[in-house]
Amino acid sequence: MAHQGVAGLSDSISVRQGTQVIPIVSNVVHRHPCLVARGLHVEHHANEPTEYPEREPQQHNLYLHTGPAVQAEIKSPEFTGLRWVRPGDFWVMPQGSRHSVRFQGHTRVEGVALAFDPGRFETLVQSADGSCSTTIVQSLAASPPRIEHLMRALAYESLEPSTEDHFALECIATAIALALSQHARATTIAAQPAAKSGARLAPRQLRAVQAYIDDHLQRSITLAHLAETAGLSSFHFLRAFKQSVGVTPCQYVIERRMERARCLLINSTLSIAEIAIHIGFEHASHFSRAFSRAVGMPPSTFRSSL
């Protein structure tokens, strides 16, 4: 579940400012602490324009500006000066990079931030082809369309999660890491080549993954568990699964959960709340929202129409 307000540093995208480690911004509208154990941080920021002294990110931080254009005076080894930060601009802030920024005017600074613990990002990028780790360079530029699309998808899924285990957020974050490696030259991030397109899961791999999903619909399902079941890296698994099935792992899991829900609504006397728990939702309201998106009507309406 998304949390609002201030959280502990372990839950936050953080920076070192002087001798202190503090949250990167003061006002986080939404965050997902459950992703921290997976080495990921997803936050929505909305802050009044202010000045941030020189600081060093503690994670690899990716920020997509989604609010109105705002002027900012930025100082960093990579770029310095007064510039407009416009909707769709993408700021890459690697761990250990340095910058200070003073936002001008009266416009709130709004955007979505995705941060990877360095070890997690390195593992993801290396898993693309087994090569050496990737060097990330600080940059601020218009986002490549695919990365902007994925970051906005991340923002939407963050606000309206399709599953309570945040499996979709993990998948989108992994796809963003892959997109960064593919757009290395455009974003000045030197990355290893992505996995070759067209690879599919072997029949035994696909059967194993599908069986795992069906056996764990009531529990939390993670990308790492599915990739491990297939014996692949997260990168290779994402691409191979979609090539094999035609949808992403997240979409497939949602479809299987909704199909199980339909069967239970038709063939059982379980309540809506009981069915929600049976297919991996802690809250009936979240299940009803997901079911309505998938089927076009709430589960109660579906059952009464039978």
pLDDT for residue 275? 94
Q: Residue 299 sits in a domain of what CATH number?
A: 1.10.10.60
The DSSP symbol for 11 reads G
- pTM (2 d.p.): 0.71
Q: Evaluate whether 21 touches 35 at the Cβ level (below 8 Å).
A: no
Q: Is the pLDDT of residue 3 over 80?
A: no
pLDDT for residue 197? 47
Between 194 and 37, residue with greater pLDDT: 37
Q: For 125-130, which contacts have Cβ atoms below 8 Å and span 24 or more sequence positions?
A: 125/177, 125/181, 125/191, 125/192, 126/192, 127/233, 127/234, 127/235, 127/236, 128/178, 128/181, 128/191, 128/192, 128/193, 128/194, 128/195, 128/233, 128/235, 128/236, 129/192, 129/193, 129/194, 129/195
Question: Other CB atoms closer than 10 Å to residue 202's CB: what's the count?
Answer: 12
pLDDT band with cut points at 50, 70 and 90 for residue 184 = low
d(CA 276, CA 175): 28
Same domain, 269 and 148: no
- Note whether residue 3 is domain-resident: no
Which secondary structure element, helix H or strand E, spans residue 176, and what is its range? helix 167-182
pLDDT digits (tens, 9 = 90+) for 45-103: 999 999 999 999 999 999 999 999 999 999 998 888 899 999 999 999 989 999 999 99
Which residue range is the domain that position 209 belongs to? 203-246
Q: Is the pLDDT of residue 223 over 60?
A: yes
Angle (CA) 168-174-177 rounded to 5° is 145
pLDDT digits (tens, 9 = 90+) for 231-263: 988 888 888 898 888 888 988 898 899 999 999
Same domain, 92 and 151: yes
- Note whether residue 194 is domain-resident: no
Angle (CA) 275-153-226 rounded to 5° is 55
Same domain, 29 and 61: yes
Same domain, 227 and 109: no
Same domain, 207 and 264: no
Strands laid side by side in the 139-142 sheet: 28-31, 40-47, 109-116, 60-65, 89-93, 139-142
d(CA 98, CA 173): 24
Same domain, 16 and 161: yes
d(CA 105, CA 62): 24
Same domain, 210 and 154: no
- Note whether residue 197 is domain-resident: no
Q: Is the pLDDT of residue 126 over 90?
A: no
Distance of CA 74 to the CA centre of its chain: 27
Same domain, 119 and 241: no
159 phi/psi in degrees, rounded to 5: -85, -30
- Note whether residue 180 is domain-resident: yes
Same domain, 163 and 271: no
Q: Residue 51 sits in a domain of what CATH number?
A: 2.60.120.280
Q: How many domains does the chain have?
A: 3
- Note whether residue 1 is domain-resident: no
Buried b vs exposed e over 95-106: b needs ≥16 C-beta within 10 Å? bebbbebebeee
Same domain, 25 and 103: yes
Q: Is the pLDDT of residue 152 over 50?
A: yes
* Summary mean pLDDT of the chain: 85
Same domain, 94 and 159: yes
Same domain, 141 and 19: yes
